[in-house]
Structure 1
Amino acid sequence: MPSDTLILILAQDRGPGLDALTRQRTKAAVPFGGKYRVIDFTLANCLHSGLRQVLVLTQYKSHSLQKHLRDGWSIFNPELGEFITPVPPQMRECQDWYLGPFDAIRQNRYLIERNRASQVLVLQGGAIYRMDYAELARAHRETGAAITVATRAVPEPGSGRQARAVLDAGERILELHAPEPADVDGEGSEQQETMGVYLFDKALLLDALARYERGISPDTDLALDVIAPLTASQPVHAYRFGQTRGRVTPDRYWCDLTSIDAYYQANMALLRAEPPLDLYQPDWTILTYQGQHPPARTVPGPHSGTEGVFVNSMLAAGTVISGGGVNHSILFPQVRVEDGAIVEASILFQGVKVGAGAHLRQCIVEKDVVVAPGDQIGFDARRDRERFAVSPEGIVVVSGEDGQTRGLA
């Protein structure tokens, strides 16, 4: 099965709703959880599922992502037919960039045709979740499906942006439709939504790509425009997320990071006593690239002598709290918190320096930003909006564009 499945990871877009974090990088390359990039979760799922023929379709500001793939994921052996290969637009048929997710697949039809795999697994590179794709592939074979669509229970009626699936008793998908405010899939039934995980028989996918050569648009949706019309003529089955079969603890956690607030809450959830996403499951580790930095540490402030402290926080390698205080926060590598500075309920990307006496609350601070000594961010909403991007729920994204220093993505 591993050599019989080709993976296509869609990582070409900046991610609507994350503009403040994707000015220098694509959504899949956004930092997450103190040391990871978002795409690491999808790639780790592939690795642990034994699927090692992976094409990552890239486009928007892809340097950060491609560097990460080079440094952190050059672990597969090409002599065994294994690979993780970034694929920007090749323009073999035209001079267009990828118009959208489906067009990105269509433009790389030749890579699908020449691969010996008989099935193609299409994944989103911008979601956080853990799934055993090998188990999904087994269900695909057992049901005799031509397409298998991973679905999950909708948390609340009317919530979510993903296509809704109407299932029969045998888990065959009868209909896929756009979500509606009062969406109900039948009286008393549980609503299911798609997750951006689609397993195709290759011949069927190639036929669909050929039929959409003309009239492709940026809004062509893989679920609603391509798969939905096939439900009447092809066996299209659902694979319910979080089943007991498979090798991943069924935490049923999935987050698509559709906004700054969703991104912030997903990170903060990792600090709960029992987080909804278990990063510590020993047989399903999330791999990533880590620089060779010294251990994180706390030291007394050079002037006050006050001990550096942190409470209920994540500190990555190379971070130093020098007489400052960190509470309920996530600090990426090489962060420095100076004497008397306080960081509360915040996310600090790599290389951030918080000057002496500064105070941050509910902030996301971009890579290499230097927060001036004594500055206060997250306390005066009007002042914050004049200087930075602020989310609807009041999360301040400090990008350094107000004159502070910052580096590349």
Structure 2
Amino acid sequence: MKFSKKNVIAIILGGGQGSRLYPLTESRSKPAVPIGGKYRLVDIPISNCINSDIFKIFVLTQFNSASLNTHIKNTFNFSILSQSFVDILAAEQTPGNATWFQGTADAVRQCMSHFLKHDFEYALILSGDQLYQMDFNEMLEAHINADAAISIATLPVNAKDAPEFGILKTNNESFIEAFIEKPDASLLPQWESEVSEEMHAKGKKYLASMGIYIFNRQLLENLMEDPETKDFGKEIIPQAVGKHKILSYQYEGYWTDIGNIESFFEANIGLTADIPEFNLFDNENKIFTRPRLLPPSKFRNSIINQSLISEGCIINAKEIKNSVIGIRSRIGDGTVIENCYVMGNDFYQDIDELNHESTINKIHVGIGENCFISNALIDKNVRIGNNVHISGGKHLENFSNELYSIKDGIIVIKKRAVLSDNFRIE
């Protein structure tokens, strides 16, 4: 059986409060968090859809959604002669419903009337805060060829990671026979599934749900009739096991759930590797984002090693290594940046503004002179003075105030924070 892009819709879940990514989610939703210096997290699932020729895409938003909505509106515009779209569906009160989205399934339920206006046979349901590159055509083909009612993308994981996921057990035809949410380590021997020889050799014998689903349209409509089920992972999928044909589609590529500050930081720093697991330099899997008319980045007396530098930067730093530097970043003379993600700025300051701020001893947007910054996330539009020393590491305890937070040894300088000359965190 063949399928076409015309009979598939994609539904991207915009996420909840994202408290584990605080303070990056203090004023934005998780999918709107900048990643890789120039992208937003939501660009990843949307780009995967576009690369898979799926052009009917809904993004469901709720919490701190203004910047996410603006980004999508300014980024994904198709021809007026095309039926393609990326539509934002915000949580809304209606005569039949007066509540916010109560979970992933409830979000889909509340928006079903909008989906049903379109002609589709399969609904591809995705998370808005994961980092991966996947050809959804292969998953759709597997779903159709297996005559499945539901398909779940699964990732082989080892015993150490398995308790952090929903774990699935499959039969020899890759259909799911049982499901357990975040199992205790003592139960794992009962939850091994058939995986490839390569994965088995690495000890990855357990299949974790990636939170990527395909539903046949009629079944999704039927499942959404029960208002008591609020979440796919906790209710819909466990209750469907044994009642419907649920296929496990094994994926062995790079995938990470951006669940907390540490995983977010590692994912960004990982982009600087010689051969990164997530490849931004891939002709077949482009990451689409907002086009910006920015000048090339400019450098003076700087040593740049193993780093990504985005457009429009003015860098006089002494050295930058193992770091991601975001758009419009300004870094002063003599400064050393190592193992950092600097998100950059939303605007430039012109010469007159810089001169005026200097006369009143106001710190400029960007990073000043003779600073040392290591193991840190610098959010957007931060003002860091001269001779500032920021040195993260596991020796630091978790902490938070109005200027910065420390989580798992990573120092996060909050959006628009101002750090005075000689400020120190070490």
Tell me the equivalent position of 2:237.
227
Aligned to 2:257: 256
CA contact (8 A) 2:10 2:125 kept: yes
1:61 maps to a residue whose letter is: N
What is residue 142 of structure 1 aligned with on the other side?
Answer: 145
From 369, 393, 402, the equivalent of 2:382 is: 369
Amino acid at match of 2:76: W
By how many angstroms is 1:233 displaced? 1.8
Q: CA deviation at 1:52?
A: 0.6
How many Å separate the matches in 1 of 2:298 and 2:418?
29
Write the mapping of 1:1-400 to structure 2, written as runs, cut at 5 A.
1-74=4-77, 76-77=78-79, 79-92=81-94, 93-159=96-162, 161-182=164-185, 183-184=187-188, 186=190, 189=193, 190-211=205-226, 213=227, 215-216=228-229, 220-242=230-252, 252-299=253-300, 307-351=301-345, 353-378=366-391, 381=396, 388-392=404-408, 394-400=409-415
- TM-aligned CA deviation for residue 232 of structure 1: 1.2
CA distance 1:153–1:78, shift in 2 (3 Å): farther
Amino acid at match of 2:238: A
1:46-71 CA-partner distances (Å, limit 9, x unpaired) = 00111111110011111111111122
| 3-state SS of paired residue (2:188) | coil
Change (3 A) 1:55 1:390: same
CA-to-aligned-CA distance 1:24-53 (integer Å, 9 cap, x gap): 111001111121111111111100111111
Query: Partner of 1:81: helix, strand, or coil?
Result: coil
In structure 2, C-alpha distance between the alignment counterparts of 1:164 and 1:375, rounded to whole Å: 46
- Give TM-score, length-normalised by structure 1: 0.88
How far is the alpha carbon of 1:267 from its aligned partner?
0.9
Superposition deviation, residue 77 in structure 1: 3.5
Partner amino acid, structure 2, of 1:233: K
Q: CA deviation at 1:185?
A: 5.7
Instruction: Tell me, in whole angstroms, the C-alpha distance in 2 between the residues paired with 1:384 and 1:308.
Output: 33
**TM-fit CA distance, 1:377:** 1.2
Secondary structure in 1 aligned to 2:264?
Answer: helix
Q: Which moved further from structure 2: 374-383 or 65-74? A: 374-383
Partner of 1:237: helix, strand, or coil? strand
- Pairwise CA distance, 1:290: 3.6
Do the aligned partners of residues 323 and 36 (structure 1) sit closer, same or farther apart at CA in structure 2, a change above 3 Å counting?
closer
The question of whether the paired residues in 2 share the 8 Å contact of 1:6 and 1:119 is answered with: yes
The one-letter code sitting in structure 2 at the alignment partner of 1:142 is: N
Name the CA shift for 1:270/1:207 in 2 (closer, same or farther; >3 Å): same
3-state secondary structure, aligned to 1:20: coil
- How many aligned positions are there? 382
- Contact 2:192–2:206 (Cα < 8 Å) also in 1: no
CA change 1:156–1:253 in 2 (3 A) is farther
Alpha-carbon deviation of 1:276? Answer: 1.3
Q: Distance in 1 between matches of 2:74 and 2:366?
A: 25
The Cα of 1:321 is off from its aligned counterpart by 1.3
User: 1:158 & 1:350 partners in 2: Cα distance?
Assistant: 33
C-alpha deviation, 1:273, in angstroms: 1.6
User: Is the 1:7–1:51 contact (alpha carbons within 8 Å) kept by the matching residues of 2?
Assistant: yes
1:187–1:349 distance in 2 versus 1, CA, 3 Å = closer
1:116 Cα deviation after fit: 1.1
Once residues 368 and 187 of structure 1 are traced to their aligned partners in structure 2, the CA distance between those partners, rounded to angstroms, is 47
Deviations 1:278-297 (A, max 9, x none): 11111111111142111112
Asked whether the equivalents of residues 106 and 209 of structure 1 are also in contact (C-alpha less than 8 Å), the reply is: yes
Q: Could you tell me which residue of structure 2 aligns to residue 248 of structure 1?
A: none
Paired with 1:385 and 1:29, the residues of 2 have a C-alpha distance of: 22
Measured against aligned partners, the alpha-carbon deviations of 1:159-206 in whole angstroms (never above 9, x if no partner) come to 453311110000000011112231426476421011111100111011
Quickly say closer, same or farther: Cα 1:206–1:56, change in 2 above 3 A: same
- The CA distance in 2 between the partners of 1:321 and 1:402, in whole Å, is 20
Give SS of 1:389's match.
strand
Tell me how far apart the structure 2 counterparts of residues 163 and 383 of structure 1 sit (CA, whole Å): 28
1:97 and 1:224 mapped to 2: Cα distance? 19
Whole-Å separation in 1 of the counterparts to 2:181 and 2:191: 18
Kept after mapping to 2: 8 A contact 1:14/1:25 = no
Structure 1's 290 and 350: CA in aligned 2 closer, same or farther, altered over 3 A?
farther
CA positional deviation for 1:89: 1.4
Q: Which stretches in structure 1 are left out of the alignment for 5+ residues? A: 243-251, 300-306
Q: Which amino acid aligns with 2:269?
A: M
Q: Work out whether residues 9 and 123 of structure 1, in 8 Å CA contact, stay in contact via their aligned partners in 2.
A: yes
Q: 1:296 to 1:397 in 2, by over 3 A?
A: same
**Distance verdict in 2 for CA 1:53–1:323, change over 3 Å:** closer
Are the aligned partners of 1:370 and 1:404 in contact in 2 as well (CA < 8 Å)?
Answer: yes
TM normalised by structure 2 equals 0.85
Deviation at 1:79, TM superposition (A): 3.5
> What SS does structure 1 have at the residue aligned with 2:224?
helix
State the alpha-carbon separation in 1 of the partners of residues 295 and 55 from structure 2: 32
- The CA RMSD measured in Å over matched residues stands at 2.1
**More divergent stretch after superposition (199-208 vs 109-118):** 109-118
